Amino acid sequence: MYIHDNLDWIWQIYKNVRKGDLVIRSGFGLCGVYKYLADGPIDYRRPESDSEHTCGCVEIARNLSRAFPELFFVEEWLRIFDLLKYHDLGEITYGDRPDDGTQNTKEKNTVELDTFMEVISPLPTYQANILLQDFLSFQKLDSGLASQNASYNIACFCKLCDKLDAVLHAIFYELNGVGGDLSYKEQFHSLLSKRDKFYIQQTGTTKIAPNWAIHFLDICHNYPHFAMFFRILEPAVKEINGGKFYDWLPKAQKTFGITNEQLHYCYV
């Protein structure tokens, strides 16, 4: 089907929900659990947790389930929400590592799988097994080994939510005057990767929003339902880019083999 629906509302509600991340709960602060300044200013530079990211992913999926409930059976939507909520729990042991081409994917996946299995073990066995099956498919997408079945479609949808959330949050930060820049990563951490440099060459900028956007297009354009997610990204980019999408899009389409049909049509 042609994605003609106006999905700008998903970006708008996403921004509103993200503002909630910045509201610090007073009770724990007043009782000394963490540093707290009553009536203090909003701190856009405070660290972001994995859980805030996963909530952003669920927000995207939940709103797409409102717009296109026919995409999945109810049970599959619930599996999507569960996988998105839990997909980063494997990072509890060693923390979040950058998706910039510098990681040993096999080693990373092994460590995160072991931790993930331990963390979800309190769940009822049947539900834990389904969640584990979907998580394995999610991991296998990075290596191209995932089998194309119901779990594969769920994993692809979740990967789209995962990567889109990163881009939308980068745009949210930029709109609020704290946009990130890959030059900082190089200057203070000496971690600019070969992939980072390639994307910078493609976009002509070191700002993270356009570079993470081109990464999203690069790795996700062949996934089912990609067009829906692109339609959410468009209004967000236009809001920070003078009412138009990034100028590098035609070049990126040629570089990565992205067709106009992939940007605008969803096959269900």
Nearest of 100, 109, 223, 88 to residue 160 by alpha carbon: 223
Residue 196 is predicted with a pLDDT of 96
Residue 166 is predicted with a pLDDT of 97
Spatial contact of 62 and 157, defined as CB atoms under 8 Å apart: no
Spatial contact of 38 and 30, defined as CB atoms under 8 Å apart: yes
Lowest mean pLDDT among 90-94, 140-144, 246-250: 140-144
Residue 143 is predicted with a pLDDT of 67
* Amino acid in the structure at residue 250: P
Residue 31 is predicted with a pLDDT of 93
Helix (H) or strand (E) holding 106: helix 105-120
- pLDDT greater than 70 at residue 266: no
Q: Is the dihedral of CA 79, 160, 65, 25 positive or negative?
A: positive
Mean pLDDT over 128-157 rounds to 87
Nearest of 184, 180, 237 to residue 207 by alpha carbon: 180
Spatial contact of 213 and 233, defined as CB atoms under 8 Å apart: yes
Residue 64 is predicted with a pLDDT of 96
Q: pLDDT of 15-59, one tens digit each?
A: 999 999 988 899 999 899 988 888 778 888 888 999 999 999 999
Question: What is the longest distance spanned by two Cα atoms in the chain?
Answer: 56
Percent of the chain with pLDDT over 70: 95
Residue 94 is predicted with a pLDDT of 85
Give the tokens for residue 113.
């799988």
pTM (2 decimals)? Answer: 0.94
- pLDDT greater than 60 at residue 116: yes
Q: pLDDT of 208-221, one tens digit each?
A: 999 999 999 999 99
Residue 148 is predicted with a pLDDT of 74
- pLDDT greater than 80 at residue 146: no
> Across all residues in the chain, what is the average pLDDT?
92
Task: Find residue 181's DSSP bridge partners.
Answer: 207
Spatial contact of 17 and 165, defined as CB atoms under 8 Å apart: no
Q: For residue 155, give Cα distances in angstroms to 60, 111, 179.
A: 15, 19, 29
The length of the chain in residues reads 268
- pLDDT greater than 80 at residue 229: yes
Q: Is 257 left (phi over 0), alpha (psi -120 to 50) or beta?
A: left
- pLDDT greater than 60 at residue 2: no
- pLDDT greater than 90 at residue 227: yes
- pLDDT greater than 60 at residue 234: yes
Q: For residue 161, give Cα distances in angstroms to 43, 57, 225.
A: 25, 5, 11
Spatial contact of 171 and 239, defined as CB atoms under 8 Å apart: yes
Burial-class residue 177 by CB neighbours within 10 Å (0-12, 13-18, 19+). Answer: exposed
Neighbours of 29 (CB within 10 A): 15
Task: Give the DSSP letter string of 135-173.
Answer: HHHHHHTTTT---SSHHHHHHHHHHHHHHHHHHHHHHHH
Per-domain residue ranges of the chain = 8-23+48-85+158-264
Residue 191 is predicted with a pLDDT of 86
Give the tokens for residue 193.
């990767």
Mean pLDDT over 86-98 rounds to 91
Nearest of 215, 112, 208, 120 to residue 169 by alpha carbon: 208
Give the tokens for residue 235.
């209004």
Residue 37 is predicted with a pLDDT of 82
